[in-house]
Structure 1
Amino acid sequence: MCLGDDPTCAAFAEHRLRYRRDMEPERRAFLKSGFVATGGAAALAAGGLTLVSPALAQSSAGRLKQTAHYHLPANAETVHWGYFSKKLKPQVEIDSGDFVTIETLTHHANDDAERMVTGDPGAESVFLWTKERKGVARRGAGPEDSKLGPGGGLGVHICTGPVAIRGAEPGDVLEVRILDVAPRPSANPKFRGRTFGSNAAAWWGYHYNDMLGGNKREVVTIYEVDASGERDWAKAVYSFPWPGVTDPDGRDHPTIDYPGLPVDHTKTRRSFDVLKGIRVPIRPHFGTMGLAPSEADMVNSIPPSYTGGNIDNWRIGKGATLYYPVAVPGALFSVGDPHASQGDSELCGTAIECSLTGTFQFILHKKADLAGTSLEALDFPMIETSEDWVLSGFSYPNYLKDLGPDAQNAIFQKSSIDLAMRDAFRKMRQFLMQAKGLTEDEAISLMSVAVDFGITQVVDGNWGVHAIVKKAIFSERTV
C-alpha cells in the first residue's frame, strides 16, 4: 500500500497529504529544539545578512522558471550506497528554484531491524539481503569483484539521489536551502508514534585505542525519538556489545566492517539500564550531503571534500543554507547519513543515526554572475544560518587532488586536527578578506577575538575543523 511514498500510485497526492498531516506533531517535536533557533529560512528571506547579494539574487532569479515540487522516496531503486559518482544517472532533473522532498535512510537501521526496517517498504527493499540476492548489491566505491561483493564496503552511507540541476556547470555555485526536516516513524505497529536511531561506538572511533584497561570493544546504543510532539529530546532504550555477525552470504564479521550487517538479537546481550535520566537534545541534520566530485568515477562516501559529502556538522539542519562549488555537469546532489543528534567531533564514530525526510530548494548561481560577490572564490562547502557563517576546514581541502592516485586509501592514514585547523584558518582569512574587505591583519585579529573554531569530526578519514563567525559582527559594515 502507498504510504505517500509511491509517486506512481493513482492516489499519491491524497496519501502524501495524509502522511504529512500525520507527521505534523513529529515535525513540531523535532523543530522546537534550541538548535532550530539558530536557523530559519524565513529570517534569510526577510533580508538579513546573506552571502547572496541583491545583484546576484536578481541575476539568478532572472533564470528561474515556474517552480515545481518533486518527491524522491528512498528505496532500492533511488539510493546509492557508500559512494558519490559523476557517472550516476539522476533520479530526478530539476530547474533552478525547484523544491525536492527527499527521504533518507540511516545505514545503521539493521542494528535494530524490528524498530527501523520492519513494515517499511522502502527500507525493506534497501536492506533486503538473502543468500539469493541483495536489494542494493553495490555497497562502497571499491571494485566490482571484491570478495565482500561489489564496492567492497569502501564507503557506508545510504545516499538518495542524485538530483541533477539543469544548466549547472563546473565553476558555478549551487545554493541548497534546507526548508524542512521530519523523522521517519517506525512502520512496525508495535512502535507506533516513535522513531529510533542507533549510535555505534565502533573501531573507527577516536576513543577505540584509548579504552580503560585496553579492553577494546564495540558497543551499540539504540535511542528513541518521540514522534508524538511531546518532547524534543531523545532517550536511550538499550545497548549491546557487538556480538559478531555472520552475514547471509556466510561471511563472519567480528567487527562492524561492512555496511548494513543484520544483527540477530537472539545473540546479543542487551542492557536496558543505560543512560537513565539522560535527555539528549534533538539536532536533526544530514551528515552526508553534497555534490559529485570530478576527480574519480567512484568516490568513497566517508571522507568529506570540497564538494561536501560526509561533513558531519550538526548545523546542517532545518533553516541552514549550504553553498557548494559545482564540479560536474548537472551538479549531481545526493543526501544521506541522517542524524537525530550529534555533538561536535562525533567522537565514538557515529551520531544518533536516524532516518529523516528533508525538503530542499535548489538555486543555481552561474559563474559569470559571481565576479565581485562573496561567492566568487568559493572552493569549499559553506554553511549559512540566520545568525552565523560556518566554514568547513579539512585535513586536505581536496584530498582526491592533494594526495594523488592512491588518495582514497592514503587519506585514512594522513589526517590530523592540526592540518584541519590550518585549512579552517586559511579559509576564514580568505573569507574575511575577500567577502568582507578586511586586511590580513584585521582578519587575524578578528579571528582571535570573535571567531569560534570547533572540531567537526575526527572519524571520517579527512578530519574536520569548522570556523563560526557571527553575522551580527558586520551589522554596521557596508562591505
Structure 2
Amino acid sequence: MSSIHSVKRSQSHLAWDNSIPPAIRVPSGSAVSFDCLDASNSQITATSTRTSLASLVFAQLDQVNGPVFVEGANPGDTLRVDVLDVQAADWGWTALIPGFGLLADEFPEPALKIWSLERSSEGADDGYGHAWFDKEKGIRIPLRPFAGEMGVAPGKPGAHSTIPPYATGGNVDTRHLSKDATLYLPVEVEGALFSIGDGHAAQGDGEVCGTAIETPMNVTVRLTVLKDKPYVKTPHFTTHSPHGHDEEFYCTTGVDSDIREATRAAVRHMIAFLVAEHALSRDEAYMLCSVAGDLRMHEVVDMPNYVIGMMLPKSIFVNTDESG
C-alpha cells in the first residue's frame, strides 16, 4: 500500500538515543512506510552458509529505521502505532548464534537455516502464507510477519543498545504485533522519535533460540499522539488471536531484568488499565485478571530484560464501549 511519508533503508541507527536527528517529521495521524533490512543488517543473505556466522559483526545487529518525529508528542503522552501492513521478503533465516538464546550453554556450535517464504494467493485460506521447515517430514510453519523492534527514544540521555527491550519499546520481539495490531508506547521526549526494524516472518512466544525467521520487510504504520492514556507506562497493544479465531485481546506488558518482577508489572499495568477504562476498583480488576487474563512470555532472550504480557479477551466486555 502507498503512504505519503516514507523512511528509507539508509535512514537507520544502531542505538536508542534521543539526540539522533529525526529522519522525517510528520503530523500526528500520519501513515509512514519503512523499508527495513533484516536484523543482521544484510550480513546474512539468501546464499549464506553456517560459516557466515563466524564473521558477524555484532555491533551492526538489530539496526532500526527512523527516528520519526511526530508533531505534538510530548513527555507523558502516548504514541498509538497502528500496524497497517507488513510485507516480508521471499526468504529468511534462523540461526543458532554462540552465546545467544535461552539454552546457549547447551548449543555452543553455530547453525543456520535459510528459508523460502511462500506467499499465499489472494483470498487463500492459509493466511499470509507458509514456509517449510522440513517438507519430507511434513513440518510447515504458518507465516505471520511483524516487526520485532518498535519503540520510541528514552528520556534518559545517551546511547542505549537496540538488543534488549525497554519500557519505551525496542526489541520487544512480540509476535502478536502483526498487521491490524495496535501498539501503545509511553512518550518520554518531544516528538516521541519512533523507530522500527527487525523483520520477522514467524516466531513463537519467547523466541527461545534468539532468532525467529529473520527477514527484510516493508512495513507501514500510522502514528497518532494520544493525551488521555497516562496509565501506559510500558508497551500495551491490541491484537487478534494468532490462531485465526475471531477474538481480540488487550495486552499489557512488564519489562524487567527479573522475570518475576516483569510478570508482576504486567498484571499491575492491566489493573491500571481496567481501573481507568472500565471503572473497576483495584480489587475487582485484580480478580478479573486472575479469572480471564492470560500471562505470556513474549520475549525471554534479549538480555538483560524480559517481556511478559497479560492478555485479556475483549469479548468479556459485552455491554460496554471497548477501549483500546
TM-score surpassing 0.5? yes
Match of 1:338 in 2: 199
The one-letter amino acid of 2:210's match is G
SS at match of 2:44: helix
**Amino acid aligned to 1:389:** Y
Aligned to 2:288: 446
Aligned position for 1:157 = 62
User: Per-residue deviation at 1:73?
Assistant: 2.1
CA drift at 1:284: 0.5
The structure with the largest alpha-carbon Rg is: 1
1:351–1:169 CA distance, 2 compared to 1 (3 A): same
Deviations 1:262-314 (A, max 9, x none): xxxxxxxxxxx788421111110010001010113211011111111111100
Q: Distance in 2 between matches of 1:378 and 1:228?
A: 36
- How many angstroms apart in 2 are the aligned matches of 1:471 and 1:107? 33
Asked whether 1:106 is paired with 2:38, we answer yes
User: Is 1:277 aligned to residue 138 of structure 2?
Assistant: yes
CA distance 1:99–1:217, change in 2 (3 Å): same
Tell me the CA shift for residue 86 of structure 1. 0.7
Aligned with 2:117: secondary structure?
strand
Letter in 1 for 2:112: V
Structure 2 distance, partners of 1:173, 1:422, is 22
CA apart distance, 1:105? 1.1
| 1:221 maps to 2:221 | no
* 361, 378, 387: which one aligns with 2:232: 378
Partner-residue secondary structure (3-state), 2:291: helix
Does structure 2 retain, via aligned residues, the 8 Å contact 1:183–1:227?
Answer: no
Unaligned runs of 5+ in 2: 49-55, 241-247
Relative to 1, partners in 2 of residues 1:427 and 1:275: Cα closer, same or farther, differing over 3 Å? farther
Partner residue of 1:317?
178
Which residue of the other structure, out of 163, 167, 174, is the alignment partner of 2:72? 167
TM-score normalised by length of structure 1: 0.59
* Structure 1 residue 168: Cα displacement: 1.6
- 1:416 shift after superposition: 3.3
Superposed CA offset, 1:41-89 (max 9, x none):
xxxxxxxxxxxxxxxxxxxxxxxxxxx71122213xx1113x1111111
Give the structure 1 partner of residue 87 of structure 2.
182
Is 1:286 aligned with 2:147? Answer: yes
Unaligned runs of 5+ in 1: 1-19, 22-67, 116-138, 140-147, 185-194, 237-272, 396-414
Q: Indicate how the Cα distance of structure 1 residues 73 and 323 shifts in structure 2: closer, same or farther if over 3 A, else same.
A: same
Question: Map of 1:386-465 to 2, 5 A cutoff?
Answer: 387-395=248-256, 415-461=257-303, 462-465=305-308
Separation in 1, partners of 2:191, 2:30: 14
| Structure 1 position 162, deviation (Å) | 0.8
State the one-letter code of the partner of 1:394.
V
* Cα distance between partner residues in 2 of 1:465 and 1:378: 15
1:473 to 302, 306, 316: 316
Cα distance in 1 for partners of 2:35, 2:319 equals 41
Cα deviation, residue 92, structure 1: 1.1
Aligned to 2:51: none
State the distance in 2 between where 1:416 and 1:356 align: 32
Cα distance in 2, alignment partners of residues 208 and 306 from structure 1: 26
Does the Cα contact within 8 Å between 1:71 and 1:101 map onto a contact in 2?
yes
Deviates more, 1:157-166 or 1:221-230: 221-230
Secondary structure in 1 matching 2:278: coil
Assess if the C-alpha contact under 8 Å between 1:199 and 1:352 holds in 2.
Answer: yes
CA distance in 1, matches of 2:221, 2:150: 11
Provide Cα deviations, 1:90-137, integer angstroms capped at 9, x if missing partner: 11111112111111111234333537xxxxxxxxxxxxxxxxxxxxxx
2:24 equivalent among 92, 101, 107:
92
Cα distance in structure 1, aligned partners of 2:279 and 2:65: 39
- Rounded to whole Å, the distance in 2 between the matches of 1:326 and 1:376 is 10
Provide the C-alpha distance between the structure 2 equivalents of 1:113 and 1:472, rounded to a whole number of angstroms: 42
Q: Contact between 1:208 and 1:217, CA under 8 Å: does it hold in 2?
A: no
User: Which residue of the partner structure matches residue 69 of structure 1?
Assistant: 4
Q: Contact conserved, 2:76 with 2:230, CA < 8 A, in 1?
A: no
Work out the percentage of aligned pairs sharing the same amino acid: 35
Q: What amino acid maps onto 2:293 in structure 1?
A: V
User: What's 2:132 paired with?
Assistant: 235
- How far did 1:478 drift? 6.5
The one-letter code sitting in structure 1 at the alignment partner of 2:9 is A
Say which SS state the counterpart of residue 389 (structure 1) adopts: strand
| Aligned partner letter, 1:233 | H
Equivalence for 1:79: 12
How far the C-alpha of 1:352 sits from its partner, in A, is: 0.6
Deviation of residue 475 (structure 1)?
A: 2.0
Q: TM-score, normalised by structure 2?
A: 0.86
Q: Secondary structure at the match of 1:352?
A: coil
Superposition map of 1:24-43 within 5 A: none
Q: Deviations over 1:238-274 (max 9, x none)?
A: xxxxxxxxxxxxxxxxxxxxxxxxxxxxxxxxxxx78
Structure 1 vs Structure 2 CA RMSD: 2.6
More strand by share: 2
**Structure-1 separation of matches of 2:226 and 2:259:** 32
Higher helix fraction: Structure 1 or Structure 2?
1
**1:71–1:100 contact (8 Å) kept in structure 2:** yes
| Secondary structure in structure 1 of the residue aligned to 2:201 | strand
**Residue in structure 1 matched with residue 95 of structure 2 by the alignment:** 200
Counterpart pick for 1:350 among 174, 199, 211: 211
